[in-house]
Chain A
C-alpha cells in the first residue's frame, strides 16, 4: 500500500526524470499564477474597509446592486422560458426547419453581445424603424425594459444550449420504460423528465444569471440611468479613477459567479444523473402530440424572426446614410470602418494572437492534467477553469491593478490586451482539449512510449496530430470571442490600441449609428467567416457550440 505522501514522492521522482516535462509544467503554472491568481488577489486586496462601508452606505451603489439583481432575475426567467421552448421544440418535438432554428440561435453566440442592444435602439429607439418609422411613436427604449428585451435575446441561446443538452442526455429508454410500466404521457413527463432535468435546468439558469449579471455592453448602451454593477464599476474607473471602489463592485459581482462555479464543480457534478446508462439504444424518445408540435413551431418561428430582425437591422444600418433620416444605400460606412481607423484591424490581430496562445495553452494544460500525474494536478485543473467564473470587468480591472506598476509593468502594451483575451477564453479551449483527449485511448500513448518515444516526443508526434481539431476549435473559439469581447479590454486600451467592440460602443454613444453598425456588421462577418473556415477544416468533428 502506498501512502499519499509516498505517492507524492514517487510522482515528483517521475517528474525529475523528465526535465522537459517539468519545465513545461512550471511554465504553465507560472503563467496561470501571473494572469489568473494575481489579478484576482489585487482586486480583492486593494479596497479597504472604508470602501466597503461606502458601498453599503452610498445610495448609487445600493441601487446598482438592486438593479443588477433585478435584471438578472428578469432576464434569466425570460431567457430560460424562451430557451426551454426552443430546446424542447428542437430536441423533442421534431419540428420542421430545425437546422434554421439552430443557426439562428448561433448568431447571438458569435457576435458581440451588445449587438442586440444596438439593434434594439435601431428598431425601437427615438428614430427606430418600428416605433418611429412604422408606428410614428416616440418610444424611449433606454432603461430596464429595453435592456431586459436585449438581454433576453442575447442570452436565450445559452439557456437553449444548456437545456438541450439536458434533454438529450435523458436516455429515451427511461421514458419508454415508464410508459411501458403503465405511466401515461403526462405522468412520464412529471415523474421522469422533470426530476431528471431539474439539476441541469438549475445549472443552466444559474449560468445565464451570472452572464447577465456580468454583462457590460448592453447596460452601457441601453441602460440610460438604469445603472448596474458592471457599468457603475466602469464609471468609477473611467470617470473618477476610483480603482478601489471599482474593485469593490467587481468583488460583489464575483461572489455569485464564483459560488456557482464551485457549486457546479463540487455539487451539481455529483447530482447529475445524465451519464447513468451507457450504450445508445437506438430508441426514439416519446414525441409530443401534433397540435403541441405546431404551437411550439410557431413560437420558435416568432423567436427566430425577432433574432433575425436584429441582424437584418444591423446589416441594413451598415448600408444606409443616416439611420431614420436618410435611407439612401451607401458603402461609405465601410470605407470609414475599413480604411479610416485601425480598430477592426486591431481586433483581428489581437484576437488571432489570443487564439494561438489559448489553443497552445489549452492543449498543453489538458495533456498535463489528463495524462500526467504530479502534485497539484487538481489545482492546475481548477486554475485553468477558474476564469469562467471571473466577470470581464473584474479581469480588466484586475489586470490594470496588477500590471500598471513594477515589477511587471504591462500597461499600454499589446501583451496585456492579448493576455486578458486569452485568459477569458482559456477555460473553453481547455474543455475542448480535455474532451478530445478522452476520446484518445491511453494505450495509443503507451504504444508510442513502448516503442521508444519520450514523453515530449509522444506528445508532439502522437497527441498533437490527434488533437489538431480540438486545437483548431480552441483557436477559432478564442478568436471569435476575443474580437467580440468588451468588458475586460475596455480598461486596457490606450490610443492606437483601440479594438472594434469598444469603438462600436463609442460610436453608438455619440449617435453615429451607421458607422457603429458597419463596424458591428464587419465583426459578425469576420466571426462567421472564421467559423466557416473551421467547418471547412474540421468538418463536424469539433462542435464549439453544441447546438
Chain B
C-alpha cells in the first residue's frame, strides 16, 4: 500500500549565486499528504516548482510512479498545482476555469459538462459556474482553483501556500476541507507552507526545510516532540532550551543545569557529556508558591511577564538562569499568577536535542 509515488533525489537548483535548493531527497508514499515546511527563502516553493516543471533542476532526479520526469514539459507531467495567488483565468467563467484542463485533454463537451458539474458540487461551488472569478470571495476563488486542479485527476496534487491569501478563520476551515478531500480521493499531495500550525494540522508527513535542504522528515508528532535540531524545535512551535551536563547515568539519566538537577528517566546518555535539552511550554506544570517542593524536577521561579490568551495563559518565568515560556491550559484562577512560582518538569517530556 505504501509504495513510493514521488521520489526526489539529490535535487539541486541555483539562481545566480544562490543555491535555492541544495540537494533535496524526498520519498512521498502513494496517497499521502506531505508538507514542505520552512521559513521564506528555504527552497520549499522552488522544490514544488521543480516538480511542476516550471524550473529545470541543475542536478538530481525526479520520479513520479517510478518514471523519470526531468525532461517532461510541464503540460505533460500531470501535476496540477494550486497557486498562491490562485491564478484563475480572469477572462473565463468559473465553469471555463474548471473545464480548462479537460479541454486541453480533448474531452467531449457533454463529458466536460458532466464532470465540471460533479466537481463543482463536490467543492460547494454548485450554482456559481457562470460567475466570473472577480465576483467570488477569496474562499470561493480558492475552491475554484482547487476544483480546476482536481478535475484533471493529477498524479500528484501540488499546493503552493494556497491559504495565505485567506483570512485567519477561513484558513482553518479551508485547510480542514482540503485535508478531507485529499483523504476521500486518496490523492498523493505535496503542500508548501511556512505556517507550522497549518503543517502540523494537515499533514501525514512534514519535511522541514532550511537553506535549501530538508533538515527533518517525520510525522507531525515526531517533528513537534522530537525535533532533530535546535532550528526545528524553534521553528515548529515554541521551545524552552536548557544546556546542561550529564551527572549520573546508572540507567537513570540526570542532567545538571543552572544549579538544579533534572531527572529524565531511563535513557542512554554518556556520563559527563554536554547536552542541549528542549521542553515544550505546555509540558511544564506550574504551581502556586507554598506548594510542595517534593517530587521530581521542581524548580523555583519568578514570573517576569504573563498574558492571558483565552484558552491558555502564557507565562515568562525566570528559573535556573533561563527565561522559560510556560503555557497553562484552562487557567483556573480568575487572575494570573505573579511573583514567585514553582515549576515542575515531567522527566519523560524532556527531549535531548544534542549530545557532545
Contact = CB atoms under 8 A, between A and B. Distances in A.
B67 interface: no
B74 interface: yes
B87 A181 contact: no
A187 B103 CA distance: 11
A330 interface: no
Interface in B65-113: 73-81, 83-91, 100-101, 104-105
Among B81, B91, B152, the most chain A Cβ lie within 10 Å of the Cβ of B91
A184 B74 CA distance: 9
A278 B133 CA distance: 14
Nearest to B79: A180
A276 B104 contact: no
B194 interface: no
A281 interface: yes
A277 B101 CA distance: 20
Contacts of A178: 89, 100, 104
A251 interface: no
A173 B85 contact: yes
Given A173-B85, A178-B89, A276 B133 contact: yes
Mostly, the B contact residues are loop
A281 B83 contact: yes
Interface string A270-301: 00010011110101000000000000000000
B52 interface: yes
A283 B54 contact: yes
B78 A196 contact: no
B13 interface: no
A19 interface: no
A181 B90 contact: no
Contacts of A184: 73, 75, 104
Contacts of B74: 176, 179-180
Contacts of A183: 75, 100, 104
B279 to A, nearest CB: 38
B90 A176 contact: no
Given A196-B91, A276-B90, A180 B85 contact: no
A281 B85 contact: yes
Interface string B126-156: 0000000110000000000000110010000
A187 B85 CA distance: 22
A283 B104 CA distance: 22
Contact of B105 (A182, A278, A279): A182
A171 interface: yes
A279 B133 CA distance: 17
A177 interface: yes
Contact of A174 (B73, B79, B87): B87
Interface string B225-259: 00000000000000000000000000000000000
A195 interface: yes
A192 B89 contact: yes
Given A180-B52, A181-B101, A171 B91 contact: no
Closest 8 CB pairs of A and B: A181-B101, A182-B104, A173-B87, A177-B87, A273-B90, A276-B90, A277-B85, A179-B74
23 contacts: A171-B85, A171-B87, A173-B85, A174-B89, A174-B90, A176-B52, A176-B87, A177-B83, A178-B89, A178-B104, A180-B52, A180-B74, A180-B75, A184-B73, A184-B104, A192-B89, A195-B91, A196-B90, A276-B88, A276-B133, A277-B87, A281-B83, A281-B85
Interface of B: 49, 52-54, 73-81, 83-91, 100-101, 104-105, 133-134, 148-149, 152
Interface of A: 171, 173-174, 176-184, 187, 191-192, 195-196, 273, 276-279, 281, 283
